[in-house]
Structure 1
Amino acid sequence: MKTEFPAPGWQRLLVAGRGRTWAATLALLCCFSLLLPEPGPLPGLRNLAFDTYQKLWPRVRNAQPVVIVAIDDRSLAQVGQWPWPRDTMARLADRIAARKPAVTGIDIVFAEPDRTSPDLLAQRFGESDQVLAARLRQLPSNDSVFASALGRSPVVLGVVGSTKSGSGGEGFAPARIVGAPPRLDAFPKGERSLPEIDGAAAGRGLFNAHLDNGVVRRVPLVATVAGYPLLSMPLECLRVAAGEPVFSLVSEPPAPLKIVIGDLALPTQADGSIFVHYAGHDINRYVSAVDVLEGRDDPDLIAGRIALVGVVGQGLVDYQLTPNGERLPGVEVHAEVIENIFSKSLLHRPEVARGIEAACFALLALMAVAWMPRMSPLQSAMAYVASAGLLLGGGVVAYLWQRQLFDPLTPLAGLTAVHALLVLAAWMMIEIERKRLSAHLALEREASARTAGELEAARRIQTGMLPRPEKVLANEKRLQLFAHMRPAREVGGDLYDFFYLDQRRLFVVVGDVAGKGLAAALFMAVSKALTKSTSLRGPSSLGDLLELINIELVRDNPDELFVTLLAVVLDLDTGQLEYCNAGHEPLLHVRTDGGVQVLDGGGGPPLCVFDYIGYSSVKHALQPGEWLALVSDGFTEAMSSDGSLWGREAMKSALQAACSADGDVAGSGAQVLSRLARFEAGIDPADDQTMLLLRWLGRPAQNNAAPA
């Protein structure tokens, strides 16, 4: 009879079609979100992927077109604190020009007059010393000295794009736009050097960079300042070095925006920026400004290269965080860009990247929705791992092979959500079925309660079938025996028996039928009766006895149950014993010295496993006062509250403590049971527990015959 369990409406909706409907809807939403404009739905994941590429595979620095003339801590210590007088900067510019660089780019904006200029000093000392002031006015200003030095060689000065203050686009290199006007970064104003200084420069380049959560991943190669296109500092240096008077912007979608300077054509992102491919900090890029001023540098380091002048002293400039985790000064970021251009190692994110990522996600999500509900948990996990491997591997291959940036993590996040929803639907189906089965089980329990009386009666009958030592061994002086059986349910599948074969020999057996409950109890009764009847017929050995019992049990065993059996025959006069073990817990022998010996020789597999199989028996000798213990696996596999098992070693330890040379068998058995109860701490046994404890006392001086 099928019992229906009314699941809540939201659960029924979730598991409809094994979760395919909701998973497909989620996949569709994720697919559309992947098509959103840059930076996409999860920019943090995208940036993590791009940064990881650069950390694992940074650019190899195989081109060295740039040298950085660094105003570093050593230069500041020897020349003086920053800012330096402009006449000192003029001297530095002349020293650099003397080394014949291709072009000099100065990564500094000189927006205010030099406070140490003679004309400003004349104003300060005019009232106190008019003669000195007059002489100072006759000297050229430091700014004009610096401007003159800049005019003697090709120099590019910087412009900082600003939204607050600054000047227009006067003096910028002319730009020719081919195609549609590009969507460039736009700055209303530009902060520039003083007009006298700015006018002496051969070019002007933009300083700005894209800060994405504090990380410089992209820099604009071109932007508009006051409405005029302006190249970045690295590109303006290249333009001036090449002697090109103009540059071109070629915007012909779907092709990427290109910046053309003479024979050089650079593809960029749609906004004119590039992703910088970092090689990382390299001390070989640097020469100290004080060494150039004092002539201690190697002139060949600057000759023919692009010289970038910048302040790198600690506390004077902000070091920018790069994707590979390093912090670089802005002037070294410019150097990285120029090296990218020379080594043709620029990174690029194609305009079609979002479409490709969405298509890959859609294909993998479709496969998951179609096949995953029919897969096993292991197959589902392997399919997810394979999908993740395809996405991650594709991103790595594109980066290493074509230097193109594809984001595998955002599609993987969506795919993870789809897989999780399908797993949730599968789990919900299992939960609904579990509740249905629980309701069905409750009905069955109600029905089984009606049979509780019959089971109690069966328990009393089963217990009555077991022999009692005080009756069977009422007048026995040679042996003491303690018997205990605790079924895990109302009736159990364990059995034990002991009876005389003749006046000298006692037959003892303990068995365990596979399973618990009524079926095991019935098979136990059959096994017990068959064992006793067969043993009284007098087979030559216990091995032959177990072989005969196995043949009889196999003959009438439609449920294919099996039983483990440990049979012992003890000569009560001599202490000689014979035992045979059919897959049961081994016989334990407690010696007079307190040691416990495991007797595990002979025997064979459990009864009813094979139709015809032989068993072998083993003989052993006891000394007066020694003990034997026959137990079922309900003792060794007893479980504590923390899930640990008692085990054979704990059983041996309990026997050592309880079975003393002059101990009473009933008291010793009670001690073992008490120790087991403390271990279980109130946990009901999972299996039937049976123990027979024997103590052979030896033959008395005056023989007392055993009852027949």
Structure 2
Amino acid sequence: MLFTWLAMTLIAVLLSLAVGERMQRGVFDGWQKVMPRDLSGTDVRVVMIDDFSIQMIGPWPWSRYYLARLTEELKARGAKVVAFDMMFPEHDRVSPETLISIYPELSPAVVAEVQRMQPTDQIFSTVIGQSPVVLGHAGVERAPEEQPQLADAPITGKLPSKIDTFPAELASIPELDEVALGTGLMNGRPDNDGVVRDMPLILRVGSRPRLSLSAEIARNAVDAESVKSTPAALAIGHRKVPVDAHGRVRLHFGRFPSDRIISAARILGDDKPLKADVFKGKPVIVGMTAEGTADIAATPLNSVEFGPLIQAQSVDTILRGGWLQRPRWAPAAEWAAAAMLAFLALGNALFGRGYRFLLAIVFAALPVASWLLFENAGLLLDPARPALVGLGSVAGVAMGLFALARIERERLRDALVHERVAAAETQGELQAARAIQLGMVPARTRLQKLDPRVDLDALLEPAKSVGGDFYDAMMIGPDRLGFAVADVTGKGVPAALFMAMSKALTSAALSRMQVDVAGMADAVNLELLKDNSEAMSVTMLLGILDLKSGAIELVCAGHEDPLRLDSDGNIERLKLDGGPPFSIAEFPFPLEKIQLQPGETLVLVTDGVTEAQNAAEELFGRDRILGGKDAWARSATAICEAVRDEVRNFEAGTEATDDLTVMAIRYIGG
């Protein structure tokens, strides 16, 4: 057992290393979906160039004239910062020179008049120079040769060790860039599953540190002259924002309020008035959401989210807090919890129930602790990795116990052989084998005393001196009764030997089974498939009766359907889906449930009842079981003996064709 425990634990550790990050993301994303961040108090405003704006102004890209008017309106309404989540690396395509080139038939007077018009880039540049505008840049592989040298960012201190680095930086045209209040990089990459979970605050272009667009917006929003960097945090004004080694902050996403998102059309002339103070003192992000925009990404909350709204959440996180953190001690704590679960699983197998209780507590505490730390402190601790390792350890222990059961099966097989030889020497082989077989099933007097809440009895009569039927029943807890009825193919000594092996496996599994009937059935089936050189099989009904509620969980492996009796003696056949007999093939046996009310009885039989024949070779069938109806209302013993008597009366002295087994479980209740 120690070997299987260690092997399965190591396999679980390796599996957690391979898929742990994916599971971890699923857990943390799930927490965000359960409790998204409250953004109702955000000061950030987002101006969207949406489909309505495009319909009113015209297709994108707009003339810089309209962007200048939009900026003027935002400045006039008191915006603290106006940030463009877009780039202007080229000159405006709508300019006086462009109009002249498009219409060569213009008269010289008109051409002269157009040439006297102020270029739209100059108009936009003038407005930017008079307004608190932040422009977006991009880290790229190569910048245009004519692009001038860019000014250094206002960053001091030591940078994080693994920040994203780009060879070059693509800026807006000099007319705009040189008069802007600030610039920031818009680069942001999702995780390898395509989901954006964090945003960079500090990056590097060549050897020069640069702020991201959201960090630059926040810096200007709090009037900070510079930003101080440390390997673990970025100080922007009075805000100290934790960052990882890549210079990124983990966002706690929420639903951005719709009243903080304003269409550009409403600012540029829509009839719907805006509140006078909607932008006053607020950082404003201008971005695209019109149909066809490429600025979209997936987040833990939305499979499709517009880039400006992600930037807005990043700015809000810097200004108001609410970020998420994965502390440096988190991996060590998770591995410690995994080790605890592994050793508790081993202790449960070696020392019993006390460790089982602790194991259950730790398993239950992992997700609860993870949720509480997320909810109250914004900390991310992964419960999936230790749970996976713990489950691997539990599986290893279970495999070890089944291996011990197999050893026990071999011991019982050897004991049976020795008993058979000894009996053959004294009283004859078959008589001794019969005694051994009948001695392996529980005594009827013991069945009747298992629990006062149930009236239980069973009987077995082999067709020959020895046979292949067996039954079993035992208490597997204070309120749970496990039971089984089975029929091995064939009769005689071979069937009895296979019966002994099946009985040993079933008894061992029942004695250790706590919950999963279907899992136990699968384990017994797999064990019987091994070393079955005679290609024998066994049909079986396995079940657990909850003595508190009368609920029964059943697995049927090719066996006769059970019968249910109500307190009035009415009989109902319970049709089960089931599966093939054990030792035929691997099969996922379904778990099936029935309910007994107080006074109702479950009757289980083998085909020695339904396929019994008389001298005319007629089958007894199921309908004739009704013949003993008057006896069925008395007790489990009366029911078993009534069924047996009905079969023997039907046979009328004809030799039995198969072993006969009957079990009656009358549920008395509380």
Q: TM over 0.5, yes or no?
A: yes
Are the counterparts in 2 of residues 51 and 323 from structure 1 also a CA contact under 8 Å?
yes
Q: Indicate whether 1:437 and 2:431 are aligned.
A: no
The corresponding residue for 1:233 is: 213
Find out whether 1:402 has 2:413 as its counterpart.
no
- In the other structure, the counterpart of 1:49 is 27
- Cα deviation for residue 18 of structure 1 reads 6.1
CA offsets 1:463-509 (integer angstroms, 9 cap, x no match): xxxxxxxxxxxxxxxxxxxxxx99425569xxxxxxxxxxxxxxxxx
| Alignment match, 1:208 | 187
Taking the aligned partners of 1:675 and 1:75, their CA distance within structure 2 comes to 96
- Equivalence for 1:354: 331
1:192 to 167, 171, 185: 171
Distance, in Å, in 2 between the alignment partners of 1:457 and 1:426 is 31
Structure 2 equivalent of residue 488 of structure 1: 462
Larger radius of gyration: 1
Partner SS for 1:210: coil
CA RMSD of aligned residues (A): 4.1
Give 1:511-526 correspondences, 5 Å limit. Answer: none
Rate the CA distance shift 1:146–1:391 in 2: closer, same or farther, 3 A: same
- Residues 128-164 of structure 1, C-alpha deviations (whole Å, 9 max, x = no match): 7555444333322222211211111101111122235
Residue in 2 aligned with 1:247? 227
Q: Indicate conservation of the 8 Å contact 2:326/2:381, yes or no.
A: yes
Code of the residue aligned with 2:380 in structure 1: it is: L
Q: Distance in 2 between matches of 1:128 and 1:109?
A: 33
The alignment of Structure 1 onto Structure 2 pairs a total of residues equal to 481
Pair 490,169 (structure 1): closer, same or farther in 2 beyond 3 Å:
farther
Whether the 8 Å contact between 2:134 and 2:216 is mirrored in structure 1 is yes
Aligned partner (choices 124, 130, 134) of residue 146 of structure 1: 124
Matches within 5 A, 1:422-501: 422-445=397-420, 447-448=422-423, 487-488=461-462, 490=464
Per the alignment, do residues 143 and 654 of structure 1 end up closer, same or farther by CA in structure 2, a change over 3 Å counting? same
Does residue 163 in structure 1 map to residue 163 in structure 2?
no
One of 35, 42, 55 as aligned partner of 1:77 = 55
Q: In the alignment, which residue of structure 1 is the partner of 2:199?
A: 219
Return the letter of the residue paired with 1:206. Answer: L
Could you tell me how far apart the structure 1 residues matched to 2:268 and 2:609 are? Answer: 78
Aligned-partner residue type, residue 313 of structure 1: A
Amino acid at match of 1:161: G
Q: Give the distance between the partners of 1:193 and 1:643, measured in 2 at CA.
A: 89
Is 1:287–1:297's contact at 8 Å kept on the other side of the alignment? no
Write the distance in 2 (CA, Å) between the matches of 1:71 and 1:271: 32
In structure 2, the partner of 1:116 is 94
For the residues of structure 1 that align with 2:182 and 2:170, how far apart are their CA atoms? 15
Which is worse superposed, 443-452 or 346-355? 443-452
How much does 1:268 deviate?
A: 1.5
SS of structure 1 residue aligned to 2:198? strand
- Deviations 1:78-102 (CA, angstroms, capped at 9, x unpaired): 2211111111111111111110111
Residues 26 and 418 in structure 1, CA contact (< 8 A), matched pair in contact too: no
2:388 aligned with 1:413: yes
Asked if the contact 1:320–1:328 (Cα under 8 Å) also holds between the matched residues in 2, the reply is: yes
Deviations 1:247-278 (A, max 9, x none): 21123xxxxx2212233322212221011111
Q: How much has 1:327 moved relative to structure 2?
A: 2.7
Q: Distance in 2 between matches of 1:248 and 1:671?
A: 96
Segments of 5+ residues of structure 1 without an aligned counterpart are: 1-14, 35-39, 252-256, 460-484, 493-516, 518-595, 599-635, 657-667, 689-708
Preserved CA contact (<8 Å) 2:84 2:134: yes
- Residue 324 of structure 1 and its aligned partner are, at CA, apart by 2.2
CA distance in 1, matches of 2:110, 2:157: 55
Task: Tell me: CA distance 1:206–1:648, structure 2 relative to 1, closer, same or farther (3 Å).
Answer: same
Change (3 A) 1:453 1:106: same
Distance 2:660 2:269 in 1: 92
1:301 deviation in Å?
A: 1.0
Measure the CA separation in 2 of the matches of 1:198 and 1:110: 9
Tell me whether 1:639 sits opposite 2:618 in the alignment: no
TM-fit CA distance, 1:641: 8.9
Structure-2 change in CA distance of 1:454 and 1:227 (3 Å): closer
- 1:276 aligns to 2:243 (yes or no): no
The CA distance in 2 between the partners of 1:642 and 1:319, in whole Å, is 70
Q: Give 1:122's aligned amino acid.
A: I
Secondary structure, aligned partner of 2:197: strand
Aligned counterpart, 2:42: 64
**Cα distance, 1:675 vs structure 2:** 12
Q: List aligned pairs for 1:373-388, cutoff 5 A.
A: 373-375=349-351, 383-388=358-363
Distance in structure 2 (CA, Å) of the matches to 1:414 and 1:83 = 55
Specify the alignment match of 2:498 in structure 1.
none
Distance in 1, matches of 2:109 and 2:152, equals 43
Q: Aligned pair in 2 of structure 1 residues 687, 96: CA closer, same or farther (>3 Å)?
A: closer
1:504-563 Cα offsets, whole Å, 9 max, x none, are: xxxxxxxxxxxxx9xxxxxxxxxxxxxxxxxxxxxxxxxxxxxxxxxxxxxxxxxxxxxx
Q: 1:360 to 1:131 in 2, by over 3 A?
A: same
2:403 maps to a residue whose letter is M
> What is the DSSP-based 3-state SS (H/G/I as helix, E as strand, rest coil) of the residue aligned with 1:216?
coil
TM-score with structure 1 setting the length? 0.60
The 8 Å contact of residues 241 and 249 in structure 2, kept in 1 or not, is answered as: no
C-alpha contact 2:156 2:226 (8 A) present in aligned 1: yes
Q: In the alignment, is the contact (CA less than 8 A) between 2:38 and 2:254 conserved in 1? A: yes
Rate the CA distance shift 1:452–1:109 in 2: closer, same or farther, 3 A: farther
> For residues 261-340 of structure 1, what are the structure 2 equivalents within 5 Å?
261-294=236-269, 296-340=273-317
Q: CA distance change for structure 1 residues 450 and 383 in 2, over 3 Å: closer, same or farther?
A: farther
- Name the CA distance, whole Å, in 2 between partners of 1:671 and 1:19: 50
CA deviation digits over 1:276-319, x for unaligned, max 9?
11112431221110010116322311111111111112322343
Unpaired segments of 5 or more residues in structure 2?
Answer: 435-458, 467-491, 493-568, 572-602, 613-619, 631-644, 664-670
Matched to 1:174, the amino acid is: P
Report the 3-state secondary structure (helix = DSSP H, G, I; strand = E; otherwise coil) of the residue aligned with 1:299. Answer: coil
User: Which range is displaced more, 118-127 or 18-27?
Assistant: 18-27
Quote how far apart the aligned CAs of 1:418 are: 2.3
Deviations 1:21-63 (A, max 9, x none): 5467668x669x87xxxxx862101101110110111112242
Distance 2:313 2:423 in 1: 81
In 2, the alpha carbon distance for the partners of 1:458 and 1:96 equals 98
Please give the TM-score of this superposition, normalised by the length of structure 2.
0.63
- What's the CA shift string for 1:304-352, capped at 9, x where partnerless? 1111111112322343211124532111111112222333211111122
